């Protein structure tokens, strides 16, 4: 199966699952459920769910075993986008080519829609996963990846670094938490769902971290080089906001080299995973966006 | 043991546990950890943890079995207060007699501190609870109580009802979700932690819901009748904001009767619980505040 076919299939599977498990817009509170679905079904690539499904397959699991992890990861990611876009944080009007959630539904509803998507992520793990031991491991992995030592920690550091002198170590500290932590969780949670042993989970963790770092460096590059139509969001915002990005710290060319280095580390980590061709393809995809 | 001694003991136990499990303010991101602790250690009554510990004791459990549930409930409650107080929602400057989290740390940090406290709640359940089956049940209970069919659903309905003609059914719909859902979860999670059977958990659920409704009706009454010093937050805000409260719908006297009715239902539910004196005492406490 080609990588494109896999991504299309994974996206369809995850979208159908998200539609099934998310609260219905016909139920009260309707507008909140609408806002949650507006943000979730905005046309994202479903990269984190795809990583989880690919990791689950790589360790011999069935797709359906990874569905709760895949949905939880996408809900967690979407909640972070909604909150990041708020006027009090990044103040972004455009996301995936459409008005951001707070632009469409107002700030109060957007805050609560993000809150509820985080809650749903943990609910789905606990209610849609078969084995109690797997639920415990998945909740732990997701909570650690998304809390103050992971995603939210990276977000606050990103805000606090605005306007400071660019520094590569600090950029990497932020990227590891803000982006790579959830990529790591995507790979590991897919592995856990598929019944991977500890050594394989460690290899998947290394893979996910390196893939996430490559992906975020490329995102930084694209913010400088692409237009709004290609990007689906407002370009040049990072530089305008004085964000501490990789290009700001070391320039575009060295950033491209760095992205390739992280991609190399991700591929190397896959030596510990038996059926890793799709996972390797995701690495190529992450890096090729910037070429 | 008197109720006052129980509450003091429960508060000390929970405060020590919260201090132990919350990320340290000496670790990065320091300011975020400070903001989380500022909000958590603002001097709250720890009523939800106290309910959980009392329910755990009532079914024959040990206090320590209820600690993860108690901490998770307080973190969940505190995150909701931080976000509710934001300028985009209730725009409150004062909470428990001190500046609200966003007044002290800024809106961006307050949003992320609330987000991280929700994450921590689920992390603590998954990492600090002994039995996998109990973790699964606790995560389910907390997620259902705090999502769109629970707390967050009540919050959005509360916002949407602002300025509408007061209506008792709608007020009760909001109170059931905004407040009673987490009281219900407090009682049930304490029961689960202590190893209660299903029938007892159902009785505890009824108890928690009725206690929560009594508590919220009394809160509505106090908002109209108390001054800022007694209340620890800005009084009269509900009426000024056109909030749909019980007194707005049926007046103060009938609201007092309604609070007593809910208290009666809570006491009646305890007939299904063996050692329920402390849980009954909590009902008296909730209602007596308004006399």
Q: What is the pLDDT of residues B186-207, one digit of tens each?
A: 999 999 999 999 999 999 999 9
Of the candidates B285, B225, B217, B207, the residue with the CA atom closest to the CA atom of residue B256: B217
- Contact, B270 vs B203, CB < 8 A? yes
Chain B residues in contact with A125 by the CB 8 A cut-off are: 139
In tens, the pLDDT along A243-269 reads 889 999 999 999 999 999 999 999 999
Chain A residues in contact with B153 by the CB 8 A cut-off are: 28-29, 32, 116
* pLDDT at position B283 over 60: yes
Which pLDDT score is estimated for B36? Answer: 98
Q: Lowest mean pLDDT of A115-119, A261-265, B74-78, B230-234, name the range.
A: B230-234
Q: Residue A25: closest CA among chain B residues belongs to which residue?
A: B148
Which pLDDT score is estimated for B241? Answer: 78
Which pLDDT score is estimated for A97? Answer: 86
Cβ–Cβ gap B115/A83 under 8 Å: yes
Nearest CB partner across the interface for A29, out of B32, B83, B157: B157
- Contact, A276 vs A211, CB < 8 A? no
A-proximal residues of B, 68-107, CB under 8 Å: 79, 83, 86, 88-89, 106-107
- Residues near B64 by beta carbon (within 8 Å), at least 6 away in sequence: none
> pLDDT-derived band of residue B244, with 50, 70 and 90 as boundaries?
confident
Task: Tell me the average pLDDT of chain B.
Answer: 94
Whether chain A has a CB inside 8 Å of the CB on B135: the answer is yes
Nearest CB partner across the interface for A86, out of B106, B111, B142: B111
- Contact, A36 vs A173, CB < 8 A? no
- Contact, A152 vs B112, CB < 8 A? yes
Cβ–Cβ gap A111/B125 under 8 Å: no
Which pLDDT score is estimated for B37? Answer: 98
Nearest CB partner across the interface for A122, out of B88, B122, B155: B122
Pairing assessment for the beta strands B94-95 and A98-99 based on DSSP bridges: unpaired
* pLDDT at position B228 over 50: yes
Cα angle value B183/B33/B137 (rounded, 5°) = 35
Nearest CB partner across the interface for B108, out of A33, A89, A115: A89
> pLDDT-derived band of residue B231, with 50, 70 and 90 as boundaries?
low
Which pLDDT score is estimated for A229? Answer: 60
Which pLDDT score is estimated for A253? Answer: 95
* pLDDT at position A291 over 50: no
Q: Lowest mean pLDDT of A20-34, A71-85, A226-240, A244-258, name the range.
A: A226-240
Of the candidates B3, B1, B15, B62, the residue with the CA atom closest to the CA atom of residue B279: B3
Which pLDDT score is estimated for B291? Answer: 44
Q: How far are the Cα atoms of A177, A223, A283, B123 from residue A71, in angstroms, in the given order?
A: 20, 27, 21, 18
> pLDDT-derived band of residue B232, with 50, 70 and 90 as boundaries?
low
Task: Tell me the average pLDDT of chain A.
Answer: 94
Q: What is the 3-state secondary structure (H, E, C) of chain B?
A: CCHHHHHHHHHHHHHHHHHHHCCCCCCCCHHHHHHHHHHHCCCCCCHHHHHHHHHHHHCCCCHHHHHHHHHHHHHHHHHHHHHHHCCCCCCCCEECCEECHHHHHCHHHHHHHHHHHHHHHHHHHHHHCCCHHHHHHHHHHHHHHHCCCCHHHHHHHHHHCCCCCCCHHHHHHHHHHHHHHHHHHHHHHHHHHCCCCHHHHHHHHHHHHHHHHHHHHHHHHHHHHCCHHHHCCCCCHHHHCCCCCHHHHHHHHHHHHHHHHHHHHHHHHHHHCCCCHHHHHHHHHHHHCCC
> pLDDT-derived band of residue A63, with 50, 70 and 90 as boundaries?
very high
Cβ–Cβ gap A29/B116 under 8 Å: no
**Minimal CA separation from B253 to chain A, in Å:** 30
Longest dimension (CA), chain B: 51
**What value does the mean pLDDT take over residues A62-72?**
98
Cβ–Cβ gap A136/B132 under 8 Å: yes
In tens, the pLDDT along B156-185 reads 999 999 889 989 999 999 999 999 999 999
In tens, the pLDDT along B62-86 reads 999 999 999 999 999 999 999 999 9
Portion of chain B with pLDDT greater than 70, in percent = 96
Nearest CB partner across the interface for A111, out of B86, B140, B153: B86
In tens, the pLDDT along A163-203 reads 899 899 999 999 999 999 999 999 999 999 999 999 999 99
**What value does the mean pLDDT take over residues A71-99?**
95
Whether chain B has a CB inside 8 Å of the CB on A160: the answer is yes
Which pLDDT score is estimated for B72? Answer: 98
In tens, the pLDDT along B249-265 reads 999 999 999 999 999 99
ipTM for this model: 0.95
A-proximal residues of B, 1-30, CB under 8 Å: 23, 28-29
* pLDDT at position A235 over 80: no
CA A243, CA A222: separation in Å to the nearest integer? Answer: 14
Q: Residue B122: closest CA among chain A residues belongs to which residue?
A: A143
DSSP A80-106: HHHHHHSTTTT--SEETTEE-HHHHH-
Cβ–Cβ gap B133/A132 under 8 Å: yes
> pLDDT-derived band of residue B236, with 50, 70 and 90 as boundaries?
confident
Which pLDDT score is estimated for A228? Answer: 60
**What value does the mean pLDDT take over residues A38-61?**
96
pTM reported for the whole predicted model? 0.96
Which pLDDT score is estimated for B239? Answer: 76
Whether chain B has a CB inside 8 Å of the CB on A128: the answer is no
Question: Would you state the CATH architecture of domain A3-288?
Answer: Orthogonal Bundle (1.10)
């Amino acid at each position: 199966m080609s990588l494109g076919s896999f991504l299309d299939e994974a996206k369809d599977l995850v979208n159908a699952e998200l539609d099934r498990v998310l609260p219905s817009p016909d139920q009260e509170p309707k507008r909140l459920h609408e806002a949650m679905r507006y943000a979730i079904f905005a046309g994202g690539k479903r990269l984190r769910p795809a990583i989880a499904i690919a990791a689950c397959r790589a360790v011999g699991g069935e797709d359906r075993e990874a569905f709760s992890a895949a949905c939880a990861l996408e809900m967690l990611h979407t909640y972070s986008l909604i909150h990041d876009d708020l006027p009090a944080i990044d103040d972004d009007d455009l996301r995936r080519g459409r008005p951001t959630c707070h632009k469409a539904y107002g700030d109060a509803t957007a805050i609560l829609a993000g809150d509820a998507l985080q809650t749903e992520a943990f609910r789905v793990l606990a209610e849609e996963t078969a084995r109690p031991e797997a639920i415990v491991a998945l909740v732990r992995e997701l909570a650690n990846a998304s809390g103050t030592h992971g995603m939210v920690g990276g977000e606050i550091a990103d805000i606090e670094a605005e306007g400071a002198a660019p520094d590569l170590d600090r950029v990497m500290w932020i990227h590891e938490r803000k982006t790579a932590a959830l990529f790591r969780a995507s790979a590991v949670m897919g592995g856990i769902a598929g019944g991977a042993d500890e050594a394989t989970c460690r290899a998947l963790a290394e893979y996910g971290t390196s893939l996430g770092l490559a992906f975020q460096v490329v995102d930084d590059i694209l913010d400088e080089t692409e237009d709004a139509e290609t990007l689906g969001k407002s370009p040049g915002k990072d530089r305008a906001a004085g964000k501490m990005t990789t290009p700001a710290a070391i320039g575009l060319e060295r950033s491209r080299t760095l992205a390739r280095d992280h991609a190399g580390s991700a591929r190397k980590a896959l030596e510990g995973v038996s059926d890793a061709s799709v996972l390797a393809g995701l690495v190529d995809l992450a890096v090729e966006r910037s070429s």
